[in-house]
Amino acid sequence: MAARSVRKKPARKKPARKKPARKKPARKKPARKKPAGGKSARKKSAHADADDQARKQRDISVSEFFAKNRHLLGFDNPSKALLTTVKEGVDNSLDACEEAGILPDIRVEIEQQDESRFRVAIQDNGPGIVRAQVPRIFGRLLYGSKFHRLRQSRGQQGIGISAAGMYGLLTTGRPVKITTRTGRGREAHHFQLIIDTQKNEPRVSVDRVVKWPVQHGTRVEIELEGNYRGGQHSVDSYLRQISLANPHARIVYQPPSAPPEKGNGKARPPEEIEFPRVAKQLPPLTAEIKPHPYGVELGVLMQMFRDTKARNLRTCLQGDFARVSARIAEEICKTAEVPSSRRPRDVRRGEAERVHKAIQKTKIMSPPSDCIAPIGEDLILRALKAEVEADFYASVTRRPAVYRGNPFLVEAGLAYGGNLGLEQPITLFRYANRVPLQYQQSACAVTKAVIGTDWRSYQLQQPRGALPVGPALVMVHIASVWVPFTSESKEAIAHYPEIVKEIRLALQECGRRVATHIRKGKREADEAKKRAYIEKYIPQVAVGLEHILGLNERQRDKVVKNLTNVLEKSRKL
Amino acid sequence: MAARSVRKKPARKKPARKKPARKKPARKKPARKKPAGGKSARKKSAHADADDQARKQRDISVSEFFAKNRHLLGFDNPSKALLTTVKEGVDNSLDACEEAGILPDIRVEIEQQDESRFRVAIQDNGPGIVRAQVPRIFGRLLYGSKFHRLRQSRGQQGIGISAAGMYGLLTTGRPVKITTRTGRGREAHHFQLIIDTQKNEPRVSVDRVVKWPVQHGTRVEIELEGNYRGGQHSVDSYLRQISLANPHARIVYQPPSAPPEKGNGKARPPEEIEFPRVAKQLPPLTAEIKPHPYGVELGVLMQMFRDTKARNLRTCLQGDFARVSARIAEEICKTAEVPSSRRPRDVRRGEAERVHKAIQKTKIMSPPSDCIAPIGEDLILRALKAEVEADFYASVTRRPAVYRGNPFLVEAGLAYGGNLGLEQPITLFRYANRVPLQYQQSACAVTKAVIGTDWRSYQLQQPRGALPVGPALVMVHIASVWVPFTSESKEAIAHYPEIVKEIRLALQECGRRVATHIRKGKREADEAKKRAYIEKYIPQVAVGLEHILGLNERQRDKVVKNLTNVLEKSRKL
C-alpha cells in the first residue's frame, strides 16, 4: 500500500541528516538476538517493539520535569520570573521569622546587570538555617518542612525557592548564593550551589565560614534572566500588597537602577523604598492539626492503618485524627463491627471499608479553628489606611468554616472614596495565607465571588457579570491549613462552593456598611444643596416682605435672622 | 503587650486538646542542650528556631505531592477522574501500538460496581511490556520513555497512567491489575501492584505467568471512585473524538450498566459501541529530533557542554543540536572566539556566554519538520464524514512552523449544514497530538484563534468576542514534538503567538471554502426561486399573447415551450 511506504520514507532519510542516529542501531542489536515472537521480527525498521520500548524507559527527575514545564511554577516569561523569584524569597523569609517568633525585617534588592539579566537578593532577620540543611533547601525540589503538616503557612510545597534558583541556573548558569547565621554565638556560613537537574540534588561549589555583621538571618542571591516592569504585576506592586497583608513586617526595597549607559559609568541607584511596620505584634502562632476523619478517603485510611504507630484501632482513630475522642472512636468501631482492640495493620480490606463507612455515619465535631490566623479587622483597617487615602474604611473577619475537611477563614476589607479612581472598576487585592495573588484574577474564586455579589444594592454601579465600578479598593484574604490553588504557581484559588460562599458573605457585610456611608453622604449633600438654595433666597424673601408689609431695615434684618435660625434648627433635627 | 499574650494563648491550650502534641517536646530536647545563642533560648514556647525548623525538613515524594494536588493531574472530581483514567490508558495504548507499527485495536470497558465505584479496563493489541518494566511503568510517577526526547507522542510526562492507578488506590484501596504479553512465543504476565506514595515506588502483590489468549498486547484494570455521566465531558464523547483524530484505530467500548437494583440481580450491560477503523494505514512514524540551537538557554548550554560525549566543541555543536553542520559549528566557534577544538567540559563560563551569543548571531536553518505527523486532509475529511452528516466538508493541513525552537503543525477541519444545529454556537473539537482536549476550552489557544477569526466574512454569524453561530463543526489539531500545555492535566494549549497565528490561517482557509459553498447555495436558492416564479407565469403570458395576438392553441403552446427553453438556457449560463 502506498501509504505504508510513505510512512517508512522519513525514517530512512533521517540517518543521513542526523549523524548520531547512526550510532543507535548498535544499541538495538541485543534485541535482534532474542527470538522476537512471530512477525514483529520481519519488519523492524524504525519501529520499536516491547524490548526497544523497554530500553528507553527512564526515571524523570522532578527537577527535569519542572525545568521543562517551568511555566507551571510561574516562570513563563522574564518579567513573571523576576516577580516569582522575589515572591518565593519573601514568602520563605516571612514564614521562617514567624515560626521563630521574630518580627520580620526584610530587605529586597534588585540589581540590573545587563539588558535582560538581574541579581535578586532577599535578606531577613529570621532564625537562620543550620548548615547541614542549606544545600537541600536551596538545591532540591520537593524538600521542605511544610508539606507534611496541616498548618497555615505561605509555603506549602517545598518547591518555590529551589525552583527560582534552578531558573536562575538555566538562564544564566550562575549558582545560588546563601549566607546564613543561626545566632550570635554561632558562625555565619556562606554557600554557593547549583541544582543538578538530572538528579534533583544540590552541587555545592562554595561552603565556608564568613564574617557577617548580622546576628541571625539568611540572605539569598539569585541571578536570572528577567524583565523589570511596572504595573499591576510588578515587584513594587507585590511588595506593597504583601506589606498590606503583613502589617507586622518591615520591608525595605532597593529597586534596580537603569542599566549603565556606555561610557557613562555606573548609574546611581534609585532610592530605597520602605514599607514600614504598622503593627508591633506577630500574628498568633497557629497550631498544626490532624486530618479530620470526614475528609479521609478509603485508600488513605488503609495506608494510615498500615503506617500508624498506634497499638490498636481505637488509639489510632483517636490519635491520628482531629476531633475523635475515645468515645467517638469506640462508636465508629462499633458501627463498623470491627473490634476496637484490633491492631491497625491487621485490619483487613473489608473491615477498613466498614470503618470508612462508619466514619461518615458518626457525628463528629468540625475541625478546630485555632489553626487559622486571620489578619484581624483592626489591622486590616490600619493597613488600608496606610495604603490609600479614602473617605470610608470597613473590614470584616468571618468565623472559620470548613471545605473538604480543611478549616479556612475569609476576611475582607474595603476602602471607599477619597483619591480612589471614580469611573473605573474597583481595585481588587486577593490574598491567600497573607500572600498576594497577582495573576489569573479571572480564574480565581475571589473574583467569582466579587462578581457574584450584587453591588448595586450597596450604591455602587456594576455592569452585568463584571467587577463593580466606583472609587473603591476591595481586599479579600483566605487563610487555611491547605489553600486549594489551581496550579503550582499559586496564582488563583479553586472554586470550592464553601469558599465562594464565605467570601460573598464577607463582601456583603462590607457592602452594607459602605452603602450606609454612601447614603449618608448623599443625604448630607442633598441637604447642603437645599440649604444653600434657601440661604440664597432668604434676603430676597426679606426684601419682598419689606416691600409688601412696609418693614423698616431693622425689621427686615430680623426677618432674615429669624428665617436663618429656622433653617439652622431644622437642619440640626 | 496584650497582643503578645494573645499569641501565646492558643499554643498553651493546644496540648490539652490534642494529646499527641504532648509527645513532641521530647523530640525537641536535644535543641535545649546546645547553647542557643542569645535571647532565643529564653522564650522558646511553641516557636521554632533554626534547629527546630531543621529537624522538620523532609523530602516530599513526587507521588505524595501529586496525591495531595491531584486536581493538577485531572482528578479534581469523580466524573473527571473516570474520564482521565480512560484517557491516560487509551493514550498509552495508541502510543505503544504506533511505535511498534501495529494498527491499534483497543477495548475500553467500564463496569459500575456500586453507586460511586467503577472498574475501568483498557486492553490493546500493542507490543506488550517486558516483565521487568511493568512495576515501574504503572507504580512510579515520572517514569517513562517519552520525556527525554523531542518526538511527537501523546504522552509526554511519564505521569498519566501511574497517577490514575494512584487515584484508584487512594479512593478504593485496590491495586492496579496488568496483564501483558510481548509476543506469540512468550509468556503472558499478570501483575497486581500499588504505588507506595511515600517512596514513589511500586509494591507488587501479584506477579505470575498466566494463560492469555491474546498474542501480544496489554490490559490494565483500575478500580476507582468515579461518576459516569453524559454530555460534552463524557467518556463517550471522548472516545468519539479520539476515533475522529485517529482514523487508523479501532475502538470497542463497553459502557457501564446501571448498578444492579437490590433483589433484582445483575442488570444486563448495554450493548458495545464500536468506533470502526476508517483508514488502514498507520500515521507516518515520526523522527526524534535534537534541540534547535536557537531555543537553548545559557545554563542549559553549559550543562550540555559538561555532559556531552563529544570530544570537542565543534562535534558537540554538530552532534547535539539540530541543523548545525560542521561549517556552521566552525562559524559559531569563530564568532565566539573559542577554538573549535576545545574540549567541551573545558569551556569556561565566559566562553560559554560568547558561544551562546554567537549562536543567536549565526544563521541556522529552521528545525526539520518530518518529526511531525499530521492526520492529513484526506483522513480528516473521511473522519468528519463518518462523524456527522453535513452538506459540505473542508480540511486544511498547514506546513510546519516553529515556536521557541519546537516544530509544530496545525490542521483544521470543518463540516457545514446537514443535520448540524442551526441557531447554536458551532461545535469545536480541539486536539493536541491526536488527543482530544475536553476541558478548559476558554483558556485554550485554539478557542482564542477561533474567536479571533472574522467568521462574518465567511457567511457565518458571530457575536462579538464569541464563537461563531451556525450549523458547523470545527476541529483543530496541533501536532508538535512538545505541546505547551497550560497544566499537567493537558487540557489547554498555551497562547504562543506563533501557534495562534497558524491556527487562524488554517481556519481562514476553511472559512473561505465554506463561504464559497454557502454563497453558491444562496445563489442557487435565489435562482430556483426566480425560476419557479417565472415558470408560474409563463402560461399566463402565453394566454395573454393568445388574446392579444389571436394565437391558436398550438401557437400558444409553442410560445410556452419557447419561453421555457429561454429560461432553461439562461439558467445554464
Predicted local confidence at residue B383, as pLDDT? 84
Number of C-beta neighbours around residue B467 at 10 A: 20
Mutate to test the interface with A, among B59, B318, B355 (most CBs of A within 10 A): B59
Nearest by CB to residue A37, choosing from B101, B147, B185, is B185
Do the bridges between strand A427-432 and strand A472-480 make them parallel or antiparallel, or are there none, so unpaired?
parallel
ipTM score of the complex?
0.77
Which residues in chain A have their CB less than 8 angstroms from residue B32's CB?
none
Q: Which residue has the higher pLDDT, B189 or A27?
A: B189
Q: pLDDT tens for residues A292-341?
A: 898 788 988 998 999 899 999 999 999 999 999 999 999 999 999 999 99
- How far is the C-alpha of A55 from the C-alpha of B149, rounded, in Å? 14
Does the beta-carbon distance from A18 to B322 stay under 8 Å? yes
**Stretch 260-319 of chain B: residues touching chain A, C-beta under 8 Å:** 279-287, 289-290, 297-303, 307, 318-319
* Nearest one of A143, A110, A106 to A218, comparing CA atoms: A106
Tell me the pLDDT band of B19, cut-offs 50, 70 and 90.
very low
Nearest by CB to residue B96, choosing from A53, A174, A282, is A53
Q: Which residue has the higher pLDDT, A528 or B166?
A: B166
* Nearest one of A226, A197, A219 to A77, comparing CA atoms: A226
Rounded average pLDDT over A481-507? 90
Contact by Cβ (8 Å): A508, A453: yes
Q: Which amino acid is at B31?
A: A
- How far is the C-alpha of A444 from the C-alpha of B85, rounded, in Å? 27
Nearest by CB to residue B57, choosing from A61, A145, A173, is A145
Which residues in chain A have their CB less than 8 angstroms from residue B143's CB?
57-60
Concatenated DSSP letters of B207-271? EEEE--S-SSEEEEEEEEE-----STTSHHHHHHHHHHH-TT-EEEEEPPPPPPPTTS-PPPPPP
- How far is the C-alpha of B366 from the C-alpha of B324, rounded, in Å? 10
- How far is the C-alpha of A550 from the C-alpha of B104, rounded, in Å? 112
Which residues in chain B have their CB less than 8 angstroms from residue A183's CB?
36-38, 40, 49-50
Q: pLDDT tens for residues A340-373?
A: 999 999 999 899 999 999 998 999 988 887 888 8
To the nearest whole number, what is the mean pLDDT of chain A? 85
Predicted local confidence at residue B544, as pLDDT? 83
Contact by Cβ (8 Å): B110, B120: yes
Does the beta-carbon distance from A37 to B184 stay under 8 Å? yes
Rounded average pLDDT over A68-82? 87
- How far is the C-alpha of A51 from the C-alpha of A173, rounded, in Å? 38
Tell me the pLDDT band of A412, cut-offs 50, 70 and 90.
very high
Q: Which residue has the higher pLDDT, A100 or B573?
A: A100
Tell me the pLDDT band of A571, cut-offs 50, 70 and 90.
low
Most confident of A529-543, B467-481, B529-543: B467-481
Tell me the pLDDT band of A38, cut-offs 50, 70 and 90.
very low
Strand partners, A395: A413
Predicted local confidence at residue A35, as pLDDT? 39
Contact by Cβ (8 Å): A459, A519: yes
Tell whether A325 is within 8 A of chain B (Cβ). Answer: no
- How far is the C-alpha of B556 from the C-alpha of B532, rounded, in Å? 20
- How far is the C-alpha of B63 from the C-alpha of B197, rounded, in Å? 5
Beta strands in A125-283 (DSSP E): 143-144, 176-181, 188-196, 201-210, 217-225, 250-254, 273-275
Provide the percentage of residues in chain A whose pLDDT is more than 90.
49
Report the chain B residue with the minimal C-alpha distance to residue A485: B69
**Cell output for B161:** 497512567
Predicted local confidence at residue B268, as pLDDT? 62
Tell whether A53 is within 8 A of chain B (Cβ). Answer: yes
- How far is the C-alpha of A367 from the C-alpha of A293, rounded, in Å? 9
Predicted local confidence at residue A564, as pLDDT? 80
To the nearest whole number, what is the mean pLDDT of chain B? 85
Rounded average pLDDT over B290-299? 87
pTM value is: 0.79
**Stretch 222-241 of chain B: residues touching chain A, C-beta under 8 Å:** 225
Q: Using DSSP, state whether B289 is helix, strand or coil.
A: strand
* Nearest one of A169, A183, A258 to A222, comparing CA atoms: A169
Sign of the torsion formed by the C-alpha atoms of A220, A222, A226 and A228: positive
Number of C-beta neighbours around residue A50 at 10 A: 27
C-alpha pair distances (Å), B191 with each of A99, B138, B158, B172, B199 = 47, 10, 19, 18, 20
Q: pLDDT tens for residues A197-221?
A: 889 999 999 999 999 999 999 999 9
Q: Using DSSP, state whether B509 is helix, strand or coil.
A: helix
- How far is the C-alpha of A109 from the C-alpha of A220, rounded, in Å? 10
Q: Which residue has the higher pLDDT, A433 or B54?
A: A433
Least confident residue range of A145-159, B38-52, B134-148, B390-404:
B38-52
Predicted local confidence at residue A45, as pLDDT? 55
Rounded average pLDDT over A112-134? 94
Predicted local confidence at residue B265, as pLDDT? 54
Provide the percentage of residues in chain A whose pLDDT is more than 70.
89
Tell whether B173 is within 8 A of chain A (Cβ). Answer: yes
| A517 CA: distance to closest CA in chain B (Å) | 31
| B37 CA: distance to closest CA in chain A (Å) | 5
Least confident residue range of A9-18, A62-71, B141-150, B173-182:
A9-18
Q: Using DSSP, state whether A114 is helix, strand or coil.
A: strand
- For helices A235-245 and A377-387, the axis angle rounded to 10 degrees is 150
Predicted local confidence at residue A5, as pLDDT? 37
Rounded average pLDDT over A562-570? 77
Residues 6+ apart with CB under 8 A from B23: none
Predicted local confidence at residue B33, as pLDDT? 38
Q: pLDDT tens for residues B316-337?
A: 999 999 999 999 999 999 999 9
Which phi and psi angles does A424 have, rounded to 5°?
-115, 160
Tell whether A488 is within 8 A of chain B (Cβ). Answer: yes
Provide the percentage of residues in chain B whose pLDDT is more than 90.
49
Does the beta-carbon distance from A65 to B142 stay under 8 Å? yes
Contact by Cβ (8 Å): A60, B157: yes
Residues 6+ apart with CB under 8 A from B505: B398, B410
List, in sequence order, the alpha helices (H) in B246-343. 298-307, 313-320, 326-336
Q: Which helix (H) or strand (E) holds B436?
A: strand B435-437
Nearest by CB to residue A11, choosing from B10, B287, B494, is B287
